[in-house]
Amino acid sequence: MQIATWNVNSIRTRLDQVKDWLLAHPQVELLAVQETKVTDADFPTQPLQALGYHVYSWGQKSYNGVAFISKRELTAVKRGFTSILPCPPHWDEQKRVIAGFLDDILIVNLYCPNGSAIGSDKYTYKLQWFQVLREYLQELQKEQERIILCGDFNVALTDLDIHDPTGRESKIMASDAERSVLQSILDLGFVDILRQFHPEPGQYTWWDYRSGAFRRNWGWRIDYHFVSLPLVPRVQDVWIDPAPRRLPQPSDHTPVILCC
How far apart, in whole angstroms, are the C-alpha atoms of residue 15 and residue 21?
A: 10
Least separation, in Å, of the C-beta of 60 and DNA? 9
Q: Would you say 34 or 228 has its CB closer to DNA?
A: 34
Instruction: Please say if 192 is a catalytic residue.
Output: no
Q: How far is the CB of 249 from DNA (least distance, A)?
A: 5
- In terms of CB distance, is 38 or 108 closer to DNA? 38
Active-site annotation holds for 125: no
- Number of residues that make up the chain: 260
Structural element, H or E, at residue 28: strand 28-34
Which stretches of the chain bind DNA, using CB under 7 A?
A: 7, 9-10, 12-13, 35, 37-38, 61-64, 113-114, 116-117, 122, 152, 154, 172-173, 206, 208-211, 220, 222, 249, 252
162 vs 193, beta carbon nearer DNA: 162
Distance between CA atoms of 195 and 25, rounded to whole angstroms?
A: 23
Q: How far apart are CA 260 and CA 257, in angstroms?
A: 10
CB of 71 to DNA, least distance (A): 25
Closer residue to DNA, CB minimum distance, 46 or 52: 46
**Rounded CA gap, 56 and 79, in Å?**
9
Query: Which listed residue (53, 111, 204, 224) is catalytic?
Result: 111
- Please list, in sequence order, all residues whose beta carbon lies within 8 angstroms of the beta carbon of residue 91, skipping any fewer than 6 positions away: 80, 81, 82, 129, 132
Shortest approach of DNA to residue 120 CB, angstroms?
Answer: 9
Cα–Cα distance for residue pair 31/147, rounded to 1 Å: 16
Which residues does the annotation mark as catalytic?
111, 152
